[in-house]
Structures are given as C-alpha cells and as structure tokens.
C-alpha cells in the first residue's frame, strides 16, 4: 500500500492514491485539504485516505491521462503551478511494516525519493503512530 500527500502554502492535500494492475500509482479523487496546523483534521484526512486503500485504476497511455486533480483544489490552473511550491510525502506499507518517504524536486523529472528524509518504523508500529509522525513532519518541514 502507498499513500501520498502534498504540503503547499500551509495546506496539506491528502488525495486518494489509486493503483494500476502494474503497480503504478496515480492521484485520484476524493482529496482532503486541511491546514497543516489542524491536528485533528489531518488525522481524520489520513485515516480516511488509508481506509480507502489503493483502489484499482485503469492503466493509461500518457496521451490518455486525465488532467491532474490537485491544481483545482489549490486554485491554480496547472500542475507546474501547484508543484512549484509543494513538497511530496508518502506512507508506504509492506507486510505490516511502515515507512514515511520524503521526496525532493528534480527539475526534469518531478520528484525523486530523498533517502535522507526516509523514516523506517520498527515492526509493531501502529498506523496511528505513523500518522502522528507524518503530521509532525508536515507541521515542521525541514
């Protein structure tokens, strides 16, 4: 399982993360938008996104991709306008083990994973603990 969120201008965007049968992820609706300062709102948004899981979405050719969903939630017209001032974070779960993945901008290719921002949780860590750590990261970005 894999869930993304974006921090932009003090707001956290928590979309649903769909997956194709080829394990490629794509941001889809619904999307929650919560001020980074709203602890309970963020907990609720993450819990809802994780409950939705990764619904299956069709694999598409690049020419068939729909417009990105996040710019309209930010009140901007293009993906580049949204991404220019955003940071990307994700929660990854495999066999009950969780990671928080931080990403950094790479001019030509969007985002790439930044191993310096990766947090690996010990076995037995609960999803609530992971969510709390993600919220702390979003409220105090480096």
- Using one digit for the tens of pLDDT, what is the confidence trace for 67-100? 999 999 999 999 989 998 899 999 999 998 999 9
Task: Indicate the Cα dihedral angle 22, 80, 48, 124, nearest 10°.
Answer: 70
pLDDT on residue 109? 62
pLDDT on residue 108? 65
CB 29 within 8 A of CB 68: no
What average pLDDT does this structure show over 90-112? Answer: 89
- pLDDT > 70: percent of the chain: 98
The residue among 2, 3, 49, 9 whose CA lies nearest residue 30 is 49
Tell me which CATH homologous superfamily contains domain 2-139: NMB0488-like (3.40.1590.10)
Report helix angle 127-139 to 39-52, nearest 10.
130
The residue among 114, 60, 105 whose CA lies nearest residue 85 is 105
- The domain locations on the chain are 2-139
20: CB partners within 8 A, 6+ apart: 26, 56, 57, 58, 59
pLDDT interval class at 134 (50, 70, 90): very high
110: CB partners within 8 A, 6+ apart: 83
The residue among 100, 126, 2, 124 whose CA lies nearest residue 53 is 2
The residue among 38, 17, 19 whose CA lies nearest residue 28 is 17
Mean pLDDT of the chain: 93
Q: How many helices (H) and strands (E) does the chain have?
A: 4, 6
């Amino acid at each position: 399982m894999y869930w993304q969120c974006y921090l932009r201008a003090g707001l956290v965007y928590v979309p649903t993360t769909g997956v194709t049968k080829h394990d490629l992820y794509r941001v889809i609706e619904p999307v929650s938008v919560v001020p980074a300062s709203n602890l309970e709102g963020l907990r609720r948004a993450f819990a809802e996104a994780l409950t939705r899981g990764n619904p299956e979405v069709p694999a598409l050719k690049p020419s068939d991709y729909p417009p990105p969903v996040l710019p309209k939630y930010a009140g901007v017209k293009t993906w580049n306008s949204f991404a220019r001032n955003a940071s990307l974070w994700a929660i990854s779960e495999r066999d009950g083990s969780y990671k928080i993945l931080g990403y950094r901008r790479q001019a030509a290719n969007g985002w790439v994973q930044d191993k310096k921002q990766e947090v690996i949780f010990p076995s037995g860590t609960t999803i609530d603990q992971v969510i709390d750590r993600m919220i702390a990261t979003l409220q105090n970005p480096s």
